[in-house]
């Protein structure tokens, strides 16, 4: 028996090609073969003799990999769509990219037990996009099994598959976007791609801002090639792709160059010290985020000062909050800080919407330059406010204010209520602060912040915020 087994293995030795994580490939191939199994005694006999020995020779040192499950239903429209891009008809190019993806990406991410998964079998890899956008070549591939992993490749126009640079990988989404530089330097052009399933509708949005939020008007865009590509992004635009009534992805494009925006650096009501350079940079960020750059939007500095920040060069940062003034007297605002080395930071709670600054109250956590959160909660109240109080779990903490500005320490993951009072003790404004925001929350895009998050405490009931 041993001699016969050795002879069989010798005959098949020339057919064995070493591959990374070979057992994953054996499992995938075995599963496919079972669907086409031919019930003949001769075939079964060969499998009984060869398969156990091949398993012993090729199994992964880490043990058997788990079998992949079918992809999530929400990803099937994209995975079932034909390849798009100027190279979609070049089958030799596509086959080379499938093999390269399986060999390079599948070798590292080929186990469905470890999260998003790239098969090591090229036949289970799909090229979703392959083509040139401007002078840049871009290829997007994805696995067809389990939790699909995507892989991105970039290069110059006309480069062959072997010369493209692998730019990373990640979990596939129902619609994909890519933003990439076109040129050798950091100040060159930027290209953009938005790729949804076949049959999806692509739209561009125009925003209308107010003190309480944003509404958008969406207009359909013609996409004769089945995807949206911008060879050179020269202005800020907001796009979305939807399938039926379901929005698959909403994104915003930004040109590579965006200098400071002119704004009067004097803070409203004397709240702080003017910081002209930082104010211009924060204004630039705000107008980019709101698509209001170069539209003549009216801006004002709500607060600016030098304050401590953990890990900041010199221990201090210059902090500025800028607001767009809309028709109702309030509008969206954004806060940025910069330390002595010119390093910029912002915090998720430092942006949002506020009313007329004579009546509005803003509470935010300032950024940190270390792994630990900054414990400083900054209070920006109406200039006529002389004191504030925070209420949490029935406990009241007084916050002294100077020209409506003050602060209190608070640990991370805090939810509390803040009230501001004038010298006569009259309530001027009230608001609720929370750190407990969902992943992906953008406070200038409120729908992204509506996912319920477990709260650490319930704020005391208060009236409407002015």
Per-residue model confidence as pLDDT tens digits over 8-42: 344 334 333 333 332 232 223 233 333 333 333 23
Among 13, 34, 31, 14, CA closest to 23: 31
Of the candidate ranges 48-52, 89-93, 122-126, 309-313, the one whose mean pLDDT is the lowest: 48-52
Q: What is the pLDDT of residue 451?
A: 55
Task: Say whether 16 sits in a helix, a strand or coil.
Answer: coil
Q: What's the pLDDT band for 57 if we cut at 50, 70, 90?
A: very low
Average pLDDT over residues 301-314: 97
The whole-angstrom separation of Cα 28 and Cα 120 is: 9
The whole-angstrom separation of Cα 402 and Cα 270 is: 10
Task: Say whether 463 sits in a helix, a strand or coil.
Answer: coil
- How many angstroms from the chain centroid is the CA of residue 391? 34
pLDDT at 333 over 60: yes
Q: What is the pLDDT of residue 183?
A: 61
The whole-angstrom separation of Cα 315 and Cα 147 is: 45
Structure tokens at 243: 């399938």
Average pLDDT over residues 348-377: 96
pTM of the model: 0.71
Per the model's pLDDT, the better-predicted residue between 190 and 421 turns out to be 421
Q: What's the pLDDT band for 180 if we cut at 50, 70, 90?
A: confident
Give one DSSP letter per residue of 40-83, joined into a string: -HHHHHHHHHHHHHHHHHH--TT-PPPPPPPPPGGGHHHHTSPP
Average pLDDT over the chain reads 83
Q: Specify the long-range contacts of residues 297-301, CB closer than 8 Å, at least 24 apart.
A: 297/324, 297/325, 298/324, 298/325, 299/261, 299/263, 299/264, 299/323, 299/324, 299/325, 300/263, 300/264, 300/268, 300/325, 300/357, 301/263, 301/264, 301/265, 301/266, 301/267, 301/268, 301/274
Structure tokens at 298: 């009216």
CB 303 within 8 A of CB 405: yes
The whole-angstrom separation of Cα 374 and Cα 279 is: 22
Average pLDDT over residues 158-164: 95
CA distances from 61 to 29, 54, 106, 160, 460 (A): 19, 14, 16, 35, 57
Of the candidate ranges 271-285, 348-362, 452-466, the one whose mean pLDDT is the lowest: 452-466
Per the model's pLDDT, the better-predicted residue between 55 and 157 turns out to be 157
CA distances from 146 to 65, 68, 73, 192 (A): 13, 5, 11, 28
The whole-angstrom separation of Cα 121 and Cα 348 is: 42
CA distances from 135 to 93, 190, 409 (A): 18, 10, 52
Structure tokens at 378: 């900054």
Per-residue model confidence as pLDDT tens digits over 196-254: 999 999 999 999 999 999 999 999 999 999 999 999 898 889 999 999 999 999 999 98
Among 408, 404, 376, 380, CA closest to 308: 376
Task: Give every CB contact of residue 124 below 8 A, 6+ residues apart in sequence.
Answer: 28, 102, 143, 144, 145
């Amino acid at each position: 028996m041993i001699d016969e087994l050795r002879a069989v293995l010798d005959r098949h030795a020339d057919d064995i090609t070493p591959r990374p994580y070979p057992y994953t490939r054996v499992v995938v191939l075995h599963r496919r073969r079972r669907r086409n199994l031919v019930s003949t005694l001769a075939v079964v006999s060969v499998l009984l003799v060869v398969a156990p020995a091949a398993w012993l020779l090729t199994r992964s040192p880490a043990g058997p990999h788990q079998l992949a499950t079918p992809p999530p239903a929400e990803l099937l429209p994209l995975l079932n769509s034909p390849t798009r891009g100027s190279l979609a008809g070049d089958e030799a190019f596509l086959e080379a990219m499938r093999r390269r993806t399986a060999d390079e990406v599948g070798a590292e991410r080929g186990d469905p037990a470890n999260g998003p998964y790239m098969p090591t079998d090229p036949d289970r890899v799909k090229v979703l996009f392959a083509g040139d956008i401007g002078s840049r070549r871009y290829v997007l591939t994805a696995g067809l099994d389990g939790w699909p992993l995507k892989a991105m490749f970039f290069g110059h126009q006309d480069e062959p598959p072997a010369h493209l640079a692998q730019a990373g990988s990640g979990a596939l989404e129902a619609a994909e976007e890519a933003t990439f530089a076109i040129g050798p330097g950091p100040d060159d052009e930027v290209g953009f791609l938005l790729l949804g399933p076949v049959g999806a509708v692509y739209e561009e949005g125009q925003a209308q801002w107010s003190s309480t939020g944003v509404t958008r008007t969406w207009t359909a865009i013609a996409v004769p090639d089945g995807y949206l590509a911008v060879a050179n992004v020269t202005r800020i635009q907001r796009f979305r792709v939807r399938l039926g009534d379901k929005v698959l992805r909403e994104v915003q494009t930004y040109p590579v160059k965006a200098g400071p925006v002119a704004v009067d650096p004097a803070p409203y009501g004397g709240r702080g010290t003017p910081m002209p350079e930082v104010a211009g940079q924060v204004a630039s960020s705000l107008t980019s985020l709101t698509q209001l750059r170069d539209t003549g939007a009216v801006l004002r500095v709500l607060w600016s000062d030098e304050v401590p920040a953990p890990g900041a060069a010199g221990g201090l940062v210059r902090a500025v909050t800028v607001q767009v003034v809309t028709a109702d007297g309030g509008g969206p605002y954004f806060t940025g800080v910069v330390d002595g080395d010119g390093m910029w930071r912002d915090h998720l709670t430092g942006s949002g919407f506020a009313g007329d600054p004579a009546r509005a109250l803003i509470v935010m956590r300032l950024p940190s330059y270390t792994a630990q959160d900054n414990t400083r909660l900054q209070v920006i109240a109406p200039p006529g406010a002389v004191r504030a109080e925070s209420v949490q779990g029935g406990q009241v903490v007084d916050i002294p204010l100077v020209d409506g500005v003050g602060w209190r320490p608070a640990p991370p993951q805090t939810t509390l209520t803040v009230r501001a009072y004038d010298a006569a003790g009259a309530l001027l404004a009230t608001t609720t602060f929370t750190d407990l925001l969902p992943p992906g929350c953008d406070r200038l895009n409120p729908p992204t912040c509506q996912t319920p998050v477990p709260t650490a405490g319930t704020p005391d009931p208060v009236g409407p915020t002015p």
